Amino acid sequence: MDVFSTLLKVFVDEQGVLRYPVADVEHVIPWMLVNLPVDLSVLDEATLILLAQASDKAGITESMGPQQIRAAFDAWYVEHPPSPSVVAALQEAWRQVHEGDGPAPFSGFLGEKSGTGVLGGGVRPEGTVPGALARLAAMTKGTPPKKG
């Protein structure tokens, strides 16, 4: 069974009843279709309609390539994130399927993508190390450095 089909099982219980509101499930499916290895030619009409509607909302055009399409969807989903409970369930299913091997493609929705920059942007103060209290290491005379 492919990854997409396996992850879809998250949405229903053992009796085949949806665990989440229909709107929450329909909202996340287009993102999954774009970011997971899915053969779009085997999708049913209802799923293709969901993808087409989401593509329109995300500003997808025929001239876009695969990377541009993913970037447009990612940007749209940053502004319109999926339900945290749905994403958490997908993340857990991903970990089980891949035995905890790295973050899931949708881990950014849960804040799991590792950031490499300084909190709030900018440049790390000289003499500090990465970490939650890094800014404190740059403080002098008990006062925080002034923002420029």
- Identify the DSSP state of 38: -
Question: Given pLDDT bands bounded at 50, 70 and 90, which one contains residue 112?
Answer: very low
| Structure tokens that stand for 63 in this block | 């001239």
> For the whole model, what pTM was predicted?
0.63
Instruction: Please state the domain extents for the chain.
Output: 3-110, 115-148
Q: Determine contact, residues 85/50, Cβ cutoff 8 Å.
A: no
* Residue 141 CB coordination number (10 Å): 4
What is the pLDDT, as a whole number, of residue 132? 46
Query: What residues form DSSP beta bridges with 12?
Result: 18
| Structure tokens that stand for 30 in this block | 């287009």
| Span between the terminal Cα atoms of the chain, in Å | 54
pLDDT tens sequence across 57-109: 999 999 998 889 888 988 998 899 888 888 888 888 877 776 655 555 555 55
